[in-house]
Amino acid sequence: MNGSARARGLGAELRQLRNGSGYKQEEVAKRLGLSKATMSRIESGAKAVTEADVSAILAVLGVTGEDRNRLLKLVREQDQPGWWETGVPGLPKQLTGLLEFERDASQIGCLGMILVPGLLQTSDYVRAVMRGSGVDAADIEARVAIRIGRQEILTKPTPVVFHALIDASVLRRVVGGPRVMAEQLRHILKMARRRNVTIQVIPEEVATHPGLEGSFVLLEFPKARSIVHLEQRRLGAFLDEPADVADYKKVLDTLQRVALSPADSAKLIATRADELEG
Residue range(s) of every CATH 3.30.870 domain in the chain: 83-277
Which part of the chain has CATH 1.10.260.40? Answer: 5-76
Which of 224 and 185 is assigned the larger pLDDT?
Answer: 185
Q: What is the pLDDT of residues 137-160, one digit of tens each?
A: 988 898 888 889 899 999 999 999
Q: Is the pLDDT of residue 71 over 80?
A: yes
H-state helical runs in the chain? 5-21, 25-32, 36-44, 51-61, 65-76, 95-104, 123-132, 137-150, 168-172, 178-192, 242-258, 262-277
Q: What CATH number matches the domain at 83-277, 2.60.40, 1.10.3470, 2.40.128, 3.30.870?
A: 3.30.870
Dihedral through CA 262, CA 263, CA 269, CA 275, nearest 10? -170
Q: Mean pLDDT: which of 27-31, 102-106, 202-206 is highest?
A: 202-206
Interval 31-54: pLDDT, tens: 888 898 888 888 887 787 888 888
Alpha-carbon distance 9 to 78, whole Å? 9
What band does 233 get if pLDDT is binned at 50, 70 and 90?
low
Q: What is the rounded distance in angstroms from the CA atom of residue 184 to the CA atom of residue 199?
A: 14
pLDDT band at residue 1 using 50, 70 and 90 as cut-offs: very low
Asked whether the predicted pLDDT for residue 207 surpasses 60, the reply is yes
DSSP letter for each residue of 90-106? TS-TTHHHHHHHHHH-S
Please report which confidence band the pLDDT of residue 88 belongs to, taking 50, 70 and 90 as the band edges.
very low
Give me the DSSP letters along 112-136.
Answer: ESSS--GGG--HHHHHHHHHHTT--
Question: 5-76: what CATH class?
Answer: mainly alpha
The residues, any chain, with a CB within 8 Å of residue 66's CB and separated by 6 or more, are none
